[in-house]
Structure 1
C-alpha cells in the first residue's frame, strides 16, 4: 500500500524508485482503466508532470494504448506534460479580476518572467497559468502562488511579490 510518506519523499528518489512506486500505485488500483485518472494524479505527484516515458509506462502496465492514456491526460487541464517550476503563479481572469486589471497583472508577469501562459522559466523556478475564478472576487484582481492568494494585485506590486520568493 502506498503511503503519504512515499509521495512526500519522491524528491529524494531515483528514477528507478519512482517507476517502482508508480508500478505499486497501478497495482493498488487493480490496473483498471476506470482508475486511470487516479493513477495519472498519482503519477504526476511522483514525477511532477507526465512526460511521454511515464505515459508509455502506465499504458504498458495497464495494458492500454498510449493514445488512450494521452487522450485522458490531455483532456483534463490539471495534468501537465511539461515540468512545472518551483513556484506556480496563477492569475485570475474571472470577470471581476479581468475588469479590475487582471490582464495587466498577467502581462507584467509575462514581461518579468520572460514566459507566456503555460510555460516554465528555463531555470524551472516559475510556471505561469491563468484561472477563471479563485473565489476572491471582492479582492480583485487576485492571483495565487502555489495556492497562496494575493489580493488586490497591481502591476507595480509584481516585482515585490516575486522578490519575496527568492
Structure 2
C-alpha cells in the first residue's frame, strides 16, 4: 500500500484515477504477474472508481495479464509488417516447439506464448518481446537458442 499511496500522491487531490497504470503495474508485480478480478476490484476501491473502469484498462493493454503466465512470456508481434516477414509462422513454431497453443502456458509454468499488437519494431520483424527486451530478425534457430538460454537461467527478467 505504501507504494500505491506514493503513486497516488503524484496526482492532484481527487484525481486518484490518474494513478491507475502505475498502480496496476505495482499490483501485478506483487501478485505473480497477473491481475485477478478480486485484485482489480480492490484497485477500483483504492482509486475510488467503478470496477468496470479498471477492467477496461486491463483488457485494453497487453502489458496486463488476466490469468497466470509462465515465468518467460514470449510476446510475438502479429501486425502486418511482422506477418509479411514470417511473424505468424514464428508464433506457430514457438507454440509447436513448446507444445502449447497461443495464450497458453507450459505445464511446468516456464513458458507462455501470446500474440500482441505492434511492438514498434516494424523494420526488424519478425520479432518478439521477452520481458523488457526485443528479439528481432527472429529465426527458428534464434528462438531455439532463446528457449535454451531461458531454461539455463541465462535470461534475467528483473
Quick check: TM above 0.5?
yes
Partner residue of 1:38?
22
Identify the structure with the greater helix proportion. 1
Question: CA RMSD for the aligned pairs?
Answer: 2.8
Deviations 1:111-156 (A, max 9, x none): 1222233332232211212244444444432223223333332335
- The alignment covers a number of residue pairs equal to 147
Using a 3 Å threshold, how does the CA distance of structure 1 residues 37 and 150 change in structure 2: closer, same or farther?
closer
Q: 2:46 matched to 1:61?
A: yes
2:88 to 92, 103, 110: 103
TM-score, normalization by structure 1:
0.69
- Residue number among 9, 21, 34 corresponding to 1:49 in the alignment: 34
Q: For 1:49, what is the secondary structure of its paired residue?
A: coil
Deviation of the 1:89 alpha carbon:
0.9
Q: What is the TM-score of this pair, normalised by structure 2?
A: 0.72
Change (3 A) 1:115 1:57: same
Pair 53,164 (structure 1): closer, same or farther in 2 beyond 3 Å? same
* Matches of 2:73 and 2:38, distance apart in 1: 23
SS at match of 2:66: coil
Unaligned runs of 5+ in 2: 152-158
Larger gyration radius, structure 1 or structure 2:
1
Instruction: Describe the SS at the equivalent of 1:107.
Output: helix
Q: Separation in 1 of the partners of 2:83 and 2:2?
A: 42
